[in-house]
Amino acid sequence: MTIHLSNAGKRFNRDWIFRKATLTFLPGQSYAITGSNGSGKSTLLQAVCGSLEISEGKIEWTIDDKKVEADKVFKHLTLAAPYVEVIEEMTAIEFLQFHQKFKPLQPQVSIKEIVQIIGLEKSATKQIRYFSSGMKQRIKLAQAIFTEAPLLLLDEPCTNLDTTGFDLYHNLIANYAKSKTIIVSSNDVNEYSFCNNVISIMDYK
């Protein structure tokens, strides 16, 4: 997926979160949106994924040179973020099975294998409500990264992860997200060190 912002801006009431953003996100490339807490990184990310209408300028999405309407962009992306909830009454396997009904998972790995890869095989039949915050973050990352979608959005993706979780995150990106367009919103270089493009939200204030 290619995403192009032209003089895009978003404000809430009289406060501009970002302005005059002219950016292009290309297929198969990785991007980091950086800035301090509260600077508007997540707002820009939500605009990029079409879930938040901008106040000025325009955003265009294309796949194979075919335009994707803003209300259809969600079909082509996945998102892992602290504010994205999981269904806590389900087990990890049930949650991935449920998700698969809406968006296909990568065909080369089974759900059982995914649970093993993220280190939750011993808790595969336990309801997510009993997971630690780090375990919940692992299942969020699995749901996003293993989905067969061209655009992967990650907002503070290592929230609640320990050192082992950080290593898992980077392994998942390296092994299962090579062909995706990846956009990471973070102020922690350890979360976006693999990105070959860095965008500072402060350049658009």
pLDDT digits (tens, 9 = 90+) for 138-195: 999 999 999 999 999 999 999 999 999 999 999 999 999 989 999 999 999 999 999 9
Q: Look at residue 195 in the predicted model and tell me its pLDDT.
A: 97
* pLDDT at residue 154 in the model: 98
- Give helix 133-145 / helix 92-100 axis angle, nearest 10°: 30
Q: Where are the domains of the chain?
A: 2-204
Cβ neighbour number for residue 110 with a 10 Å cutoff: 12
Question: So what's the pLDDT on residue 104?
Answer: 96
Enter the tokens of residue 60.
Answer: 């265009």
Which residue in 5, 130, 123 sits closest to 142, CA to CA?
A: 123
pLDDT tens-place values along the chain, 205 residues long: 999 999 999 999 999 999 999 999 999 999 999 999 889 999 999 999 999 999 999 999 999 889 999 999 999 999 999 889 999 999 999 999 999 999 999 999 999 999 999 999 999 999 999 999 999 999 999 999 999 999 999 999 999 999 999 999 999 999 999 899 999 999 999 999 999 999 999 999 9
CA distances from 18 to 11, 44, 121, 204, 205 (A): 7, 8, 43, 5, 5
For residue 198, which of 23, 57, 64, 15 has the smallest C-alpha distance? 23
Residues shown for the chain:
205
Cross-strand pairs, 144: none
> Do the beta carbons of residue 3 and residue 44 sit within 8 Å?
no
Cβ atoms within 10 Å of 201's Cβ, excluding its own? 22
CA-to-CA distance for 8 and 105, rounded, in angstroms?
33
**Residue 173, pLDDT score:** 98
Lateral strand order in the sheet of 15-25: 15-25, 2-12, 56-63, 66-68
The domain 2-204 having CATH identifier 3.30.450.270: the answer here is no
Give Dmax over CA atoms of the chain in angstroms.
51
Q: What is the DSSP string of 173-189?
A: HHHH-TTSEEEEE-S-H
